[in-house]
Amino acid sequence: MRSSPPDIAPIGIARLEGLRVALWGWGREGRAAYRALRRRLPAQPLTLFCSASEVDETRALDDAVLTVDTDASAERLSRFDVVVKSPGISPYRSEALGAAQRGTRFIGGTTLWFAENPDARAICVTGTKGKSTTTALLAHLLRAGGHRTALCGNIGMPLLELLDIESPPEFWAIELSSYQTRDVALSGVSPQIAVATNIFPEHLDWHGSEARYIEDKLALFVDAKPRIAILNGNDRTLAALDLPDSEVRFFGLLGGWHLRDDVVYRGEQAVFDTSGLPLPGRHNRGNLCAVFAAIEALGLDAAALAPHATSFQPLPHRLQTLGARDGITYVNDSISTTPHASLAALDCFRARRVAILVGGHDRGIDWRDFADAMRMQAPAVIVTLGHNGPKIHDLLTPIVNAGHFALAAATDLGEAVARARELLHGEGVLLLSPGAPSFGNYRDYTERGRHFASLAGFDPEAIASIPGLGIG
Q: What is the pLDDT of residue 204?
A: 60
By the 8 A CB rule, do 196 and 233 touch? Answer: no
Q: What is the 3-state secondary structure (H, E, C) of 159-221?
A: HHHHCCCCCCCCEEEEECCCCCHHHHHHCCCCCCEEEECCCCCCCHHHHCCHHHHHHHHHHHH
Domains and CATH numbers, the chain: 13-107 (3.40.50.720), 113-313 (3.40.1190.10), 320-463 (3.90.190.20)
Rg (CA), the chain: 23
CA distances from 54 to 58, 65, 158 (A): 7, 18, 20
State the average pLDDT over residues 328-332. 97
pLDDT-based confidence at residue 4 (cuts at 50, 70, 90): very low
By the 8 A CB rule, do 296 and 302 touch? Answer: yes
74 CB-side CA count, 13 A: 14
State the average pLDDT over residues 253-275. 95
- Tell me the DSSP string of 39-81: HH-TT--EEEE--GGGHHHHHTT--TTEEEES---HHHHTT-S
Q: CA 403: distance to chain centroid?
A: 32
3-state secondary structure of 366: coil
Q: What is the pLDDT of residue 53?
A: 93
Element (H, E) at 108: none
Least trusted range by pLDDT, from 72-76, 349-353, 409-413, 437-441: 437-441
Q: What is the pLDDT of residue 283?
A: 79
Q: What is the pLDDT of residues 186-195, one digit of tens each?
A: 999 999 999 9
State the average pLDDT over residues 115-130. 95
Rounding to the nearest 10 degrees, give the CA dihedral for residues 138, 142, 147, 148: 30
Best CA proximity match to 141, nearest among 167, 168, 169, 173? 173
The percentage of residues in the chain with a pLDDT greater than 90, rounded to a whole number, is: 82
Distance between CA atoms of residues 207 and 217, nearest Å: 10
By the 8 A CB rule, do 354 and 329 touch? Answer: no
Q: What is the pLDDT of residue 444?
A: 86
State the average pLDDT over residues 1-14. 55
pLDDT-based confidence at residue 201 (cuts at 50, 70, 90): low
Give CA angle at 400 (396, 401), nearest 5°: 150
pLDDT-based confidence at residue 2 (cuts at 50, 70, 90): very low
State the average pLDDT over residues 198-216. 78
Q: What is the pLDDT of residue 323?
A: 94
State the average pLDDT over residues 363-368. 90
pLDDT-based confidence at residue 7 (cuts at 50, 70, 90): very low
Q: What is the pLDDT of residues 271-282, one digit of tens each?
A: 999 988 888 778
Q: What is the pLDDT of residue 10?
A: 61
Distance between CA atoms of residues 467 and 37, nearest Å: 28
Distance between CA atoms of residues 80 and 181, nearest Å: 23
Cβ burial of 384 (10 Å; 0-12, 13-18, 19+) is buried
Q: How many helices and strands, by DSSP H and E, does the chain display? A: 18, 21
State the average pLDDT over residues 124-147. 95
- Phi, psi values for residue 180, rounded to 5°: -115, -15
Return mean pLDDT, the chain. Answer: 93
